[in-house]
Structure 1
């Protein structure tokens, strides 16, 4: 019981991070019907910007200020990357055949990955645990169930970001424009919506969320390298598909499920096969629910 509770906490924390990344995938797909395979590398860049800022400021200012600076600067830089990816890799190919933007996005992913490898090195970068300790929830013999301060901070920050993002999509003019472009981009343009601006801001917002996820990943695990974008990106994309690609609640639900599957499989089975378990469950779900858990069936317009 105690061990299962600890794995539940670990899985929810990891799932929150996957959910934030998955939102970026599902936003872009919902707006333009394309998969941004460079999104995982934007997440990786966010983590590297975070470690650079924290290393530079840790000795000259307080920890809260350093953490706030890491989140804000990382989000700003990744937003610029997201804007640039849309302008360079997607906008020129938006009207071409569907395979062209996919190839362009994969190429952009390789460019970003190798750029970080060359500029930051191929070795792992690490930081110490900045928020040690936590809340003891349960003791069972020698086993202690603990909610660490780091896990609590990640959960709180993620919930705040999700609440702010939900408000943005449902209550603001930009959110209405995003939903209009998602439903029918041509009609939205005819009605006065600046579709290019809306699509660019969608990339910017998704990239900023990925940056927050990257910094939280860094703080949680303490170790990063230039390859984390591929692994986390594939997991987040899987989460988006599992929850229903194009569905924002589905992206969060898929991220939580992926995190829980990884945590419980690692705790009760072999860690080496946790990825195989995730993808196997994805395949089983899609066999019976091809649109994902919360996805909508697409209606083809004729």
Structure 2
């Protein structure tokens, strides 16, 4: 059994890192908003999904005009990422202004229900537009970076099987790392990042120190939503096919990653996303082997949420979170 698990390890690590990078960036949106507003923005998964549709629609437009064939794929990707990030960033700001800001002092349950309502609203709007334009809510974009690269893992050790990766794997991983490092630098080394940390620590005191709280919160939503939208583009390029419901389950798993790393902790969200992606791919590849066929690969979702339950029971603050002390 151990040998069978080791055989698939190279491919599991490759697939897990790809999926984990997606989880990590989406988890950043959850953890940034929670760190400042203590709000679980369940509409964030749908912003990710909207980004996937916007990016795919732009690529299809480029292909329709013949531009995609005449420009380097990397240039097309950068253009799509920038445009999609701006669109979804503004969408996130609009949601905050219309749906969340009027309820800022309301009970948390009301804002939570509002977030769920916004989530379903975005799902149905995107589905309606996709069916109107495409005749079907499932969208398949043009292939970018679709070449297969073989990795001779068997040359390292005969225990491992060879693995293969799409060229897009490297693009997804590199862009994800760039976005995560840039965000970490922005939050920890810039004036606006300092303002965000100040508002997260004590909103009232930050306002007394001349910090514009509304602008900081709007900027937080813009950055989190822009990252989520860009990640949707990377997801569409890596997996090819998207639909209006990809944001629901992926958003829940990204939230799980944020809780795993420590909700409100940016570096924890990054680590939690990568860890969850690798563990989920490991479960998908090896559950049938370990359980002797009782559990199939489809139980990987159960595995992911079982991890969430275990973390909440034994370490509710997460791996990198700090225990909050209630002041009286």
TM-score, normalised to structure 1, is: 0.96
Equivalence for 1:119: 129
**Structure 2 unmatched ranges of 5 or more:** 1-5, 288-295
Counterparts of 1:99-248 in structure 2, within 5 Å, are 99-121=109-131, 122-131=136-145, 132-134=147-149, 136-139=151-154, 143-248=161-266
For the aligned residues, what is the CA RMSD? 1.6
Quick one: distance in 2 between partners of 1:3 and 1:97?
A: 48
Equivalence for 2:314: 288
**Structure 1 unmatched ranges of 5 or more:** none
Q: CA deviation at 1:130?
A: 1.6
Count of aligned positions:
302
Q: CA deviation at 1:136?
A: 2.1
Q: CA deviation at 1:9?
A: 1.3
Give the secondary structure class of the aligned counterpart of 1:134. Answer: strand
Match of 1:255 among 267, 273, 287: 273
Quick one: distance in 1 between partners of 2:87 and 2:152?
A: 38
Equivalence for 1:82: 92
Q: CA deviation at 1:141?
A: 9.8
Q: CA deviation at 1:148?
A: 3.2
Retained in 1: the 8 A contact 2:10–2:161? no
Quick one: distance in 1 between partners of 2:207 and 2:150?
A: 52
Give the secondary structure class of the aligned counterpart of 2:325. Answer: coil
Larger of the two Rg values belongs to structure: 2
Give the secondary structure class of the aligned counterpart of 2:326. Answer: coil
1:273 equivalenced with 2:299 (yes/no) = yes
1:301 equivalenced with 2:327 (yes/no) = yes
Quick one: distance in 1 between partners of 2:152 and 2:37?
A: 45
Retained in 1: the 8 A contact 2:36–2:217? yes
Quick one: distance in 1 between partners of 2:7 and 2:262?
A: 32
After TM superposition, the runs of 4+ consecutive aligned structure 1 residues lying more than 6 A away are none
Quick one: distance in 2 between partners of 1:185 and 1:13?
A: 36
Quick one: distance in 1 between partners of 2:144 and 2:202?
A: 46
Quick one: distance in 2 between partners of 1:181 and 1:142?
A: 49
Q: 1:138 to 1:84 in 2, by over 3 A?
A: same
